Amino acid sequence: MTGANTELSESLMRERITFGKIIYDLTNQLEAKKEECIKLNRYLHQAHEIMLDREQVIKELEERILILEKANADMRDKAEAGLRKEVQLQEFCDMLMGKKSEKFVPESSLINVAIQQTLGSEFDTQEIEEIISIAVTPADIHQANQEIIKGNRKKKRYKAHIGRRVQPSWLEVQTETIDISGDKTGLKPMGKKVTTYYDYQPGKIIKVQQEHLQYINEESKIICEPVKPRMVEKGTVGNRLLAHLHSRRFGYGDPYYRQLRFIKNTTGVDFAASTVDGWEEVAYKKLQRLLRCLRKVIMQSTYIKADETKLKYLSDVGKGKPSNGWLWVFLSPEHKLVLFEFNPSRSQHIPGEVLKDFKGILQTDGLGSYTAAFKNNDQVTMMSCLVHIRRGFKKAEKYDKKLVAPVLTLFNVIYRIEAYADRNKLTPDQRLQLRRKYTVPFLDKIKSWLLEQKNQDHLPGTPIFKAVNYALGQWPRLKAFAENGYIDPDNNGVERVIRPVTIFRKNSMFAGNEHGAERVALFYSLIESCHLNDIDPFTYLCDIYDRLHDCPANQLIHLLPHNWKKK
């Protein structure tokens, strides 16, 4: 028992020692865990403080980002506004001092790439090279800088008419004696009737005296050969001098006051400006019937080009400065006739009223007046101008040449195809076949390029943005160009007949009143129609002034420039 108790005591002792060690180890581990917890709490506290600091920093950064985004938006708006102003300033500088040529000469590599990408390899390479091989010379057009002199219209004190002006005595005199025809039995001579007027011969003014011999018969009736009719019947001007004044003013932009000063300095003949203006009014009234015939012939055309240009005139209301009026121009390539119509307004009612009897294709620029005038007229097919579409990309070339060079190359190839047709004098049917084979694929290529640029993020107001939007808006109206061989791709023909009006504006500045502007429109209609038919305006006016007085209404069409033959 004692031994067993001893062993049991030793066993209990060993267990206590073992449990004590275990408890000691656990206590040490617990202390270590507590220290770790304290450290973790401290780290957690520090991390929390760091997170709070980071949230504050993030909040400050977000506020700063908002401020920077707002500043960036302001700077973007200012940059866009500055770019638009730069574009406008460049356009104004080009209008005043820049070149007017819109010719684009692409590199030969660009042309080859455009042809390969557009037509592919199934077309005849030799034929297309022959079509586009046109001599291209860089345009070198310099325009003088015209100084604009401003002035006010002052009221002039009325002066009484001093009578007919005395002409020089050394002027060459041509005397014509005109006797009656037939039997003079029983007639007694009774003096002569003298008609005096001034006429024009190349380089000089002459005085013409027509002496009409008079006779009296047994019934005391005076018999005399009638006086040859003239445009100004009781005036002192012959038809040739009248034609010279009108052709110089409207055909070559030489105002009356310059012509009269030149005539006075070189010949001594002095005409009053009011007298010359009265002669023009008489001619205008007699030419009205010819203008009505011209208008009727143009309205029978199947294809008309239309445009408008500004012409200042002095309003009867008396604003103290000229008012803006408009010359509406309608060109018929079919008859080679052009009609000028003056109106103070630029509204849609003007082309709608002038072309109310027209049925066919009307080619214009993007002016909304034409679209609004014929939107409900199924008999008039509207067509756009390829040059106006191309012009926007030509302006954008200065800002991004690399972007617009491919599309300008495509336009260039299209015009080379048209030049090929002109050189070979193709008929409308042959020209239509050429367009379907070559031009239509290039037009489709341009349209695809426009749609791609439409999806790009171009800045509003920039030249490329405006050019793309304008082109897409006008593109559906090019359908008539691809379906008719007698249609021109652009409106350049009517713009060429407007050029003399620009010279008129520079030299004459304005028309005296609205009626004076209507007279300008009439004479430009006749003279520019002469230029279209390669007729000298002076020769034409001389002839019709002699023939108009006894021309019946059904023969007036033979006096129009496209049918005119000198008598």
Instruction: Render each residue's pLDDT in the chain as its tens digit; 567 residues.
Output: 787 788 888 888 888 888 888 888 888 888 888 888 888 888 888 888 888 888 888 888 888 898 888 888 888 888 777 777 777 777 777 766 666 677 777 777 677 777 776 777 666 667 777 777 654 434 333 333 333 333 444 455 556 666 677 777 767 888 888 778 777 777 777 778 888 888 888 878 888 888 878 888 877 787 777 778 889 988 889 999 999 999 999 998 899 999 999 988 888 888 888 899 999 999 999 999 999 999 999 999 999 999 999 998 887 665 667 888 999 999 999 999 999 999 998 888 999 999 998 999 999 988 888 988 898 888 999 999 999 999 999 888 888 888 988 899 999 999 999 999 999 899 999 999 999 998 999 999 999 999 988 888 788 888 888 999 999 999 999 888 888 889 999 999 999 999 989 888 888 877 878 888 999 999 999 999 999 999 999 999 999 999 998 889 899 999 999 998 877
- HEC assignment per residue over 242-284: HHHHHHHHHHHCCCHHHHHHHHHHHHCCCCCHHHHHHHHHHHH
Give me the sheet containing 360-363, strands edge to edge. Answer: 337-343, 323-332, 303-313, 360-363, 380-383
CB-CB contact of 161 with 128 (8 Å) = no
Query: Cα separation of 181 and 178, whole Å?
Result: 9
Host H or E run for residue 327:
strand 323-332
**Domain locations in the chain?**
1-97, 170-228, 386-490
pLDDT at 100: 66
3-state secondary structure of 414: helix
pLDDT at 150: 39
Q: List residues bridging with 174 in a β-sheet.
A: 208
pLDDT at 160: 60
pLDDT at 25: 84
Query: Cα separation of 302 and 289, whole Å?
Result: 23
Count CB atoms within 10 A of the CB of residue 475.
16
